Amino acid sequence: MKRLLVVLLVLTLAFAVMGTPAAAQKKGEPVRIGMYLPMTGGVAAYGQMEHAGVLVANKMQPTVLGRPIELFLVDTKSDKIEAANAVDRLIKKEKVKAIIGEAISGNTLAGGPIADKSKVPMVSPTATNPLVTQNREYVFRVCFIDPFQGEMAAKYAFDVLGARKAAMMIDIGQDYCVGLGNFFAKSFIKQGGKIVAMTYCQTGDQDFTAQLSTIMAAKPDVLYLPNYYTEVALTCKQANELGLKVPVFTADGAQAPELLSIGGKDVEGVILTAHFAKEAAVTELSRQYVANYEKETGKEASGFDALGADAYFLILDAMTRAKSTDGPKVREALANTKNFNGVSGIINVGPDGNAVKSLVLLHVKDGKFQYLATVNP
């Protein structure tokens, strides 16, 4: 009896496995979507988070136009040359209809022209450099851009915090930090504020007391740190030791659990601009996604994976509206995305390829990131 049960079970399983491709073929050829992401190398963490987000999204919505979706992942090793190779490979060898990637701007800049040339739409989850979509017909993104983030941070500091004098410390070893810092400074001055102290550090620095002394002497109303979480956490620790009592403002690069674990009590009250917050999940899709993501991975959903999922959902939405997987038609649909209810909020995409969407403000309270406000463009 037992043996019979086992045999039956195996047989049903076998049929179930065989059944899927047969059923899929009836519905039509799979739609191939490529991903080129940094799964290894310097920024592997971003690529892996985004990949996880896309996979969860794919489980939630595995078909488009009645056809199953087949995902292809190509690793870029966090490198430009490999990123260009990867896009050519996805288009020429795997014949994908749309591409998700890359996680960082420099690599998306390398992949973009190839997508343009082959007329394959590309959606980047997190490339925030404004040049990425400039003059690129087929390149889109679901994140906001650095000038927007810098401008909104400057506005918030000026209007809500009432700051007139800002001090800054920029990590000059990171392109993201230098870029964002510049955009913030430009906007803050335009608002009528003044940058009273501009100091610099390098990734991996441990001691910021010299810069903080300069900042203290300048008596700022706010300290803006457009840096990654490690440097931000250490800066906050030393600022507290020195007795610098001004609000610390940082950005999406600091939205990591490590900020809390390294910074501890000293990062309490830190304000940051971010792409996504679980608490600010405004759409039905984001609520479903957050639940699914936690069920699948056992981890909390964060900005990177949410934006990875958004890139996937946006492509599917465009294909559905275009009623086709044809490159130019999907591109048309993407360029006319109006009020798309994505995971990270309501997304509008214009012909310039940039997402117009709201930004969330978080602050650290009781050792956790907590939702503060949503800022609309």
Partner 1 sequence: MDEHHRRNQIFSIIAVACLFLFLLSMHLYADDYQIRILNNIALFIILAVSYNLINGVTGQFSLEPNAFVAIGAYTSALLTLTPAEKQMAFIIEPIIWPLSVIHVPFFLSLIAAGVVTAFFGFLMGFPVFRVRGDYLAIVTLGFGEVVRVVANNTQTITNGPLGLKGLANYTNLWWSWGIAAFTVFYIARLVRSSYGMAMKAVKYDEAAAESIGINAFKHKMLAFTTSAFFEGIGGGLLAHLITTISPTLFTFFLTFNLLIMIVAGGLGSITGSVIAAVVITWGGEALRVVEEPIRLGFIEIPGIPGMRMVLFSLILVLVMIFARQGLMGTREFTWNGLFRKIRAWTHRTAKES
Q: Which residues bind partner 1 (CB under 8 A)?
A: 14, 17, 39-42, 73-75, 77, 79-82, 84-85, 88-89, 91-93, 104-106, 109-110, 112-114, 117-118, 129-131, 134-135, 147, 172-179, 182-183, 186, 202
Q: Which residue, 104 or 285, has its beta carbon nearer to partner 1?
A: 104
Q: Which residue, 91 or 316, has its beta carbon nearer to partner 1?
A: 91
Q: Which residue, 161 or 178, has its beta carbon nearer to partner 1?
A: 178
Distance in Å, CB of 88 to partner 1, minimum = 4
Distance in Å, CB of 261 to partner 1, minimum = 26
Distance in Å, CB of 114 to partner 1, minimum = 7
State how far the Cα of 101 lies from the Cα of 71, in Å rounded to an integer.
Answer: 13
Burial class (CB in 10 A: 0-12, 13-18, 19+), 107: buried
Distance in Å, CB of 287 to partner 1, minimum = 28
Structural Rg of the chain based on CA atoms = 23
State how far the Cα of 151 lies from the Cα of 147, in Å rounded to an integer.
Answer: 6
Q: What region does 366 belong to: left with phi over 0, alpha with psi -120 to 50, or beta?
A: left
Residue listed under structure tokens 């971003």: 46
Query: Which residues fall within 8 angstroms of residue 5, CB to CB, at 6 or more apart?
Result: none
Which of 181, 162, 301 is closest to 232 using CA atoms? 181
Q: Which residue, 145 or 319, has its beta carbon nearer to partner 1?
A: 145
Three-state SS for 330?
helix
Q: Which residue, 141 or 363, has its beta carbon nearer to partner 1?
A: 141
Distance in Å, CB of 366 to partner 1, minimum = 35
Distance in Å, CB of 89 to partner 1, minimum = 5
Eight-state DSSP code of residue 363 = E
Which of 15, 182, 36 is closest to 100 using CA atoms? 36
Backbone torsions φ then ψ of 338, nearest 5 degrees = -120, 125
Kindly give the interhelix angle for 175-191 and 146-159, rounded to the nearest 10 degrees: 40
215: how many CB neighbours lie within 10 A of its CB? 25
Distance in Å, CB of 266 to partner 1, minimum = 28
Q: Which residue, 89 or 237, has its beta carbon nearer to partner 1?
A: 89
CA distances from 310 to 10, 105, 206 (A): 38, 17, 36
Q: Which residue, 151 or 266, has its beta carbon nearer to partner 1?
A: 151
Backbone torsions φ then ψ of 41, nearest 5 degrees = 95, -165
Distance in Å, CB of 197 to partner 1, minimum = 17
Eight-state DSSP code of residue 280 = G
State how far the Cα of 158 lies from the Cα of 296, in Å rounded to an integer.
Answer: 41
Distance in Å, CB of 277 to partner 1, minimum = 26
Q: Which residue, 203 or 320, has its beta carbon nearer to partner 1?
A: 203
